[in-house]
Chain A
């Protein structure tokens, strides 16, 4: 087996998952914040701002699932049964919020119900994704080539903490998106809310980072081994710098910068996660090389990914460009 091919695919999937977080994060965030928006105009604006892009965003999630099965089938086979409940909850939640986006326009009489479904779906999906992250980080029981644990193993204080953190983080992305895409009163409130959510996210990042060090496994080693710590220490440092810039951009009423800086915080946290996990794909049990599909599978897919991903990114960017600018009430839904 060619070890580099497995690394390349680990990078592609990591990129895909991050692309998902970047794109679906803010539209889940809109759903999370929905109850704080006033029924009517504000909600219609918020909904219109994500209507043309949401299912493209969720396609990255399909790439994550399908890609993991294709490139690291053993990891897929071990992790997914271990995460049975949170994954199922996430899928059902995504169904609710996905159809709510379409249905609310079809049925004015039941719009409050579909708005409620949109919120609950978004909150449950974000929580489930965060819990999934925590459950993977804390490790799962492996028996041969299968999952060997119980059905509630994923539920721990740590996974609940990561669940709450992702919820806060997506809320922040949604709030910053509204700053960028709206005006007036709605935007003014989004500024205030972003400040509070930003502080919340700082606390979450600190709590998860500390808690990770006390998890079983090589996490402490991976962060603090000398001289590696010289590199890894840059990550928390950059988090601090970025958060200062973030709060300054809010204070100066910048429109796009808060969203980009919030994404930068996500990217740094994500890099932190990579440092924690690498080179495992199932922490402490299976490395990416052990889980990798044969070269012939990875090579076959790499041709497609190398040609298609840049094209996909180009037309995705084009779709965002077509619907650029502030969103009005009339919208394009």
Chain B
């Protein structure tokens, strides 16, 4: 079998496509699981039925999101082998155990308690049900911990040695798990997931407030989401800056690509706002820049010298244009998110949070912004690591399986058709759930009004005794 460049490109496309699709779902479900835990906690504490209604409302959305996350995630755990077998042989002893811990500590926890969380409110006590919700929320965070540790190790490998077969061998697990970029990446990604969720929740709340400003559920979720945005967005700016400085220390070429710095600057490098990077010529065309600002950001000194890609061998350059632009998309959206949070706070202080049409329109438009920002940030960091899979140590072209281009082309097409079709429909279902306003007596996943409601008696006696009658909401079944 010949290893063709076409097969490599196709394998990279397939991985980028499947991992990007997958990433969207956890980016939402991490935040949503925590939000559900907060809602249930508030309901248990205050007894306010609005919290229960919101819990049931978002639980239905969570069920679909989580299912899509699970099935798109299974693909990932096999794709390392099918398409990146050399990487797996070399790095499996280091990366593999981190992923095994993710499965053992997080996936089983989530899956084991998800059934109880979704369908168990009437079957187990409130305390146990809340425990299940907390377990699922904790599971999503633990999962993020391990997978981002594995991912960070590929950016800033540490704590390993190489054996005779060219395999990475673990030497110090703590150094591997808490590798240099891991704390920053973890904080940055989890905050991004929280912001993404708060933008979706805020957009849904705003959407329903525009139709019915008195809707209690819409008011509560909108208020909560806007608090989240104004509190978390500034923290994210600080964490993002720290993450950038850590990248600058360990992966300077990535930061040079993000900044569009092909040339070194002796004193005071400019900050390029926009421009068209030309990789072949090594220049950024039509650049609009602020003098010395890049040195100020990266070195905290406007006159500091800053090295450019001209100090890096060309074969080690990442694709500059992709990194340059995806970074700008992320930062641009980050600024807008911060602006939304501030606007909401100002409107709130004026006492007009629930009837400012302009703010509601802004918040509705920002609904998808978190997803776009998360994906753009992901592209920045992953493409910025190229041409390596393990930074500085293993090249992407040396990681790929002995692949046959037609085989990969076939699988890529199949993935594209299935993902776009299946997940497209899934997103449609999510949107149609969100289009319904939250209301009193909101049913959970077990009592959805769209489901066929049947009278007891079709199945003989004992079955119905153990299960509550259909169509009743939790509140109703409590009363009866």
B70 at the interface (CB under 8 A from A): yes
- Contact of A58 with B74 in the complex, beta carbons under 8 Å: yes
- Contact of A62 with B170 in the complex, beta carbons under 8 Å: no
A81 at the interface (CB under 8 A from B): yes
B279 at the interface (CB under 8 A from A): no
Q: How many A-B residue pairs have CB under 8 A?
A: 299
A45 at the interface (CB under 8 A from B): yes
Inter-chain contacts of B463 with A (CB < 8 A): 183, 325-329
Inter-chain contacts of B402 with A (CB < 8 A): 81, 143, 146-148
- Contact of A332 with B466 in the complex, beta carbons under 8 Å: no
- Contact of B426 with A297 in the complex, beta carbons under 8 Å: no
A143 to B109, CA, bound (A): 39
- Contact of B422 with A331 in the complex, beta carbons under 8 Å: no
What's the minimum C-beta distance from B78 to chain A, rounded to whole angstroms? 5
- Contact of B70 with A330 in the complex, beta carbons under 8 Å: no
Given A91-B74, A297-B97, A56:B169 Cβ within 8 A:
no
Inter-chain contacts of A323 with B (CB < 8 A): 115, 119, 123
- Contact of B85 with A76 in the complex, beta carbons under 8 Å: yes
- Contact of B1 with A300 in the complex, beta carbons under 8 Å: no
Chain A residues touching B, range:
35 or more
- Contact of B454 with A316 in the complex, beta carbons under 8 Å: no
B20 at the interface (CB under 8 A from A): no
A104 to B448, CA, bound (A): 12
Inter-chain contacts of A40 with B (CB < 8 A): 452
Chain B residues touching A, range:
35 or more
Nearest A residue to B120, CB-CB: A322
A84 to B79, CA, bound (A): 9
What's the minimum C-beta distance from A272 to chain B, rounded to whole angstroms? 26
- Contact of B169 with A294 in the complex, beta carbons under 8 Å: yes
- Contact of B67 with A102 in the complex, beta carbons under 8 Å: yes
CB-contacts of B445-466 with A (<8 A): 445-446, 448, 450-454, 456, 458-460, 462-464, 466
- Can you offer 12 A-B residue contacts whose CB atoms are under 8 A? A66-B102, A68-B81, A69-B95, A71-B96, A73-B96, A74-B89, A87-B82, A94-B74, A184-B460, A305-B100, A305-B104, A319-B115
* Interface, chain B (partner A; CB < 8 A): 1, 63-64, 66-68, 70-75, 77-78, 80-83, 85-86, 88-97, 99-105, 107-109, 111-116, 118-120, 122-124, 163, 165, 167, 169-171, 173, 401-404, 406-407, 411, 414-415, 418-419, 422-423, 425-426, 429, 432-433, 445-446, 448, 450-454, 456, 458-460, 462-464, 466-470
8 A-B pairs closest in CB distance = A70-B96, A73-B92, A80-B81, A52-B115, A77-B89, A56-B111, A328-B463, A98-B71
A-B contacts besides A80-B80, A147-B402, A296-B170, 14 pairs, CB < 8 Å: A53-B115, A55-B111, A66-B77, A68-B81, A70-B97, A73-B93, A95-B75, A96-B418, A146-B85, A326-B459, A330-B456, A330-B464, A331-B467, A333-B451
